[in-house]
């Protein structure tokens, strides 16, 4: 608590308060939680960028560049998985190197968007939050599209080849659970965005 201002040492009648928030206090606040979410997502996509670059270089340096190793099919988001398989038939697959290059470009974009979320949440900037909301609407839609692709693929394989195992049905749950997680985060970011907009509207409104 201080009774002096920063520009002079003369005591004033009104007390001035300065508050320093601790780490736990920041995490329990809405902006702190969203900042943690953005940091975590940015870290995941950064790891995806590095691993995709490694797989892409390994594929180009391999002795048989036409060999498609399914273990290199890396996607950090449902939209990217569609680059590897876009239909139910066996030939409805994309080129692995092209899909990995798309994964790298998307990872760069995703890191930037999630850093915008961190800055927008901690700095209370609605335009940065809006950018994240628009981007992750596409991700949520992509999750449902991937559910449709996986379901159609399993039905097609069971109908024409009969080699579908019961355990493979669990793959459909992955994009479903991911869509639920994204939707929960998206609603939280939207709520915080609307809260900031209301605060700014009340701050700059001029009473009659």
DSSP state of 130: H
How many angstroms from the chain centroid is the CA of residue 180?
Answer: 13
Write the burial class of residue 117 (CB in 10 Å: 0-12 exposed, 13-18 middle, 19+ buried).
buried
Mean pLDDT of 72-93: 71
Higher pLDDT among residues 203 and 31, named by residue? 31
For residue 17, is pLDDT > 80?
A: no
Mean pLDDT of 57-71: 70
- pLDDT at position 84 is 76
| Mean pLDDT, all residues of the chain | 79
Which tokens go with 118? Answer: 């961190």
Better-predicted residue by pLDDT, 86 or 34 = 34
Least confident of 2-11, 101-110, 172-181, 192-201: 2-11
Say whether pLDDT at 15 is over 80: no
Residues whose CB is less than 8 angstroms from the CB of residue 157 and which lie 6 or more positions away in sequence, other chains included: 88, 163, 164
Predicted TM-score of the model (pTM):
0.76
Q: What's the pLDDT tens digit per position in 97-153?
A: 888 888 889 999 999 999 999 999 989 999 999 999 999 999 999 889 888 888 888
Q: Which has the closest alpha carbon to 75: 95, 99, 39?
A: 99
Neighbours of 30 (CB within 10 A): 15
What's the pLDDT tens digit per position in 170-190?
778 888 999 999 999 999 999
Helix (H, G, I), strand (E, B) or coil at 172: helix
Q: What is the token pair recorded at 112? A: 């930037």
Q: How far is it, in rounded angstroms, from Cα 13 to Cα 2?
A: 11
Name the token pair of 77.
Answer: 């988001």
Picking from 135, 145, 138, the residue whose alpha carbon sits closest to that of residue 42 is 135
């Amino acid at each position: 608590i201080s009774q002096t201002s920063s520009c002079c040492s003369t005591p004033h009648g009104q007390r001035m308060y300065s508050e320093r928030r601790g780490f736990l206090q920041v995490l329990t606040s809405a902006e702190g939680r969203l900042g943690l979410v953005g940091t975590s997502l940015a870290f995941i996509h950064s790891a995806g960028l590095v691993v995709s670059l490694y797989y892409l270089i390994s594929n180009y340096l391999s002795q048989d560049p036409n060999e498609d190793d399914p273990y290199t099919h890396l996607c950090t988001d449902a939209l990217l998985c569609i680059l590897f398989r876009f239909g139910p038939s066996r030939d409805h697959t994309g080129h692995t190197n092209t899909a990995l290059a798309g994964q790298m470009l998307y990872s760069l974009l995703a890191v930037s968007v999630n850093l915008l979320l961190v800055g927008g949440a901690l700095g209370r900037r609605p335009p940065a939050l809006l950018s994240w909301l628009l981007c992750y609407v596409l991700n949520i839609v992509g999750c449902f599209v991937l559910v449709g692709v996986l379901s159609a693929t399993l039905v097609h394989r069971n109908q024409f080849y009969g080699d579908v195992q019961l355990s493979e049905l669990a793959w459909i749950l992955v994009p479903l659970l991911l869509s639920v997680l994204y939707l929960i985060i998206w609603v939280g970011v939207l709520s915080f965005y609307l809260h900031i907009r209301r605060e700014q509207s009340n701050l700059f409104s001029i009473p009659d």
